[in-house]
Copies of this chain bind each other. A is one copy, B any other.
Amino acid sequence: MNELTSEQTAATVSRLSTSAADFHQRLDALLDWEGVSDKAVQARVDEILASVKQHGDAAVIDATNRFDRLSATCMDELRLTHEQLKHAYDHLPASQRDALTKAAERIKRYHERQKPNSWQYEEADGTVLGQKVTPLDRAGIYVPGGKAAYPSSVLMNAIPAHVAGVREIVMVVPTPDGVLNQLVLAAAHLAGVDYVFTIGGAQAIAALAYGTESVPRVDKIVGPGNIYVATAKRAVFGQVGIDMIAGPSEIMVVSDGQTDPDWLAMDLFSQAEHDEDAQAILISWDAEHLDAVEAAIERLLPSLEREGIVRESLRNRGALIHCQDAEEAVTIINRVAPEHLELSVAAPEAWLDDIRHAGAIFMGRYTAEALGDYCAGPNHVLPTSGTARFSSPLGVYDFQKRSSIIHCSAAGASELGKIASVLARGESLTAHARSAEYRIRD
């Protein structure tokens, strides 16, 4: 029965089994994602960056008119006023305004827990060592427009910046053909964004990184975008800070077989509907349960508004994986380091210690990823493509930096001077040694 189902539905979503000889090969092929931009994209981005660096506003206006099919003549036409943002917020349907406000409150509450404190300690000889935490002066937030404009992304990017104490938040959002999304504007008002420019692509990244006559230069650029945005962010990294290079969104769901197959199917769809490259994978050690989820997928698919995108995403990059047991599921999780991990199991707490790599962990059958995407509180900007091995969710820490504090007493400097002198001479850096030796007491 299992094999038959697998063949019948091969076109909808792949079935994998860890017991198959080619499992690792097939998993690798599924996960493979070359996020590197080709030389043509690279060259176009380089050209736009150089042009904005040299010509400022004029180059931004030109590129925006060209790529977003506008006919702006000055930057004022590409800037939204506080009044426009407030008007959008005030005129939202009450249900939307209420949901947005509740979500913002919860996001704020969670991120306030992330605030680190400056600290210092004094040693016996009076030497003080410490670490000072300071917010960035100015942060740039890239909000994708085009295909889908996400007001939730405005909240998820701007609120941590605010909680961190960033002085000015500059938002950019492309508006192809001049179409404004009122929810996005309302979210910008709610999140207290200081500037909004309706620009996007590499030209927006360049404007934020270098500054123009109208766009203030920022210290860090966060937020996801298309391949041009990602390529531009990589190029300006160093000139400004960046958060990460985002790949397609992904989810890995583990089910113990007791969650309603319809729920699981819809959880997978909610990832797959983002775009054709999105990845939705379900793992279970219960083969009949996987059959049931597969049947639910087939049954529910035709009811989806974005059926076409979901089908393509599932066909290209989705999978239902049969594994031996929970232990093997954990091994696969850590191998994949998924952006979103749903533990649709009876006692998810027991799994937590063993999970080393995941952007966000959604625990238990009730915690649908969609709840985290909008309003649970934690950030929805998460490391993709296995980068959870070394990256964290966007957070307050992305909008602050640390400075080391060293304040030697006379006695402390004398003792440290002796150590530094030996080591500096060992490195043949004798001016270092002599600078330290001046502080050694007789």
Contact = CB atoms under 8 A, between A and B. Distances in A.
A301 to B, nearest CB: 10
Nearest to A431: B269
Contacts of A361: 132, 403-406
Nearest to A274: B429
A266 interface: yes
A128 B352 CA distance: 13
B376 A416 contact: yes
Contacts of A134: 356-357
Contacts of A376: 127, 129, 406, 408, 416
Chain A: interface size category: 35 or more
A377 B406 CA distance: 9
Interface stretch (A65-73, A109-117, A287-295, A320-328): A109-117
Contacts of A270: 429, 431-432, 434-435
A304 B435 contact: no
Nearest to A263: B438
A225 interface: no
A56 interface: no
Nearest to A372: B406
A238 B387 contact: yes
A237 B240 contact: no
A346 interface: no
A188 to B, nearest CB: 14
Given A113-B119, A368-B439, A387-B238, A403 B358 contact: yes
Contacts of A368: 413, 417, 420, 435-436, 438-439
A362 to B, nearest CB: 5
A266 B434 contact: yes
Interface in A348-383: 348-349, 352, 355-364, 366-379, 382-383
Contacts of A373: 420, 424, 432
A91 interface: no
Contacts of A95: 422
A9 interface: no
Contacts of A100: 423
A151 B420 CA distance: 12
A366 B412 contact: yes
Query: Which residue among A387, A391, A405 has the maximum number of chain B CB atoms within 10 Å of its CB?
Result: A405
Contacts of A431: 266, 269-270, 272-273, 304-306, 310
A397 interface: yes
Contact of A407 (B219, B241, B364): B364
B402 A371 contact: no
Query: Which residue among A238, A348, A360 has the maximum number of chain B CB atoms within 10 Å of its CB?
Result: A238
26 contacts: A110-B129, A132-B361, A151-B423, A220-B390, A234-B238, A237-B245, A241-B387, A266-B431, A267-B435, A270-B434, A270-B435, A305-B428, A306-B430, A306-B431, A361-B405, A363-B408, A364-B408, A366-B439, A368-B413, A370-B432, A370-B433, A370-B436, A374-B419, A378-B405, A390-B401, A395-B402
Interface of A: 35-36, 95-96, 98-100, 102-103, 110, 113-114, 116, 119, 121, 127-129, 131-132, 134, 136-137, 148-152, 183, 219-220, 234, 237-238, 240-241, 244-245, 260, 262-263, 266-267, 269-270, 272-274, 304-306, 310, 348-349, 352, 355-364, 366-379, 382-383, 385, 387-393, 395, 397, 401-410, 412-413, 416-420, 422-424, 426-436, 438-439
Leading 7 A-B pairs by shortest Cβ distance: A241-B390, A378-B404, A366-B413, A363-B407, A99-B422, A269-B431, A360-B404
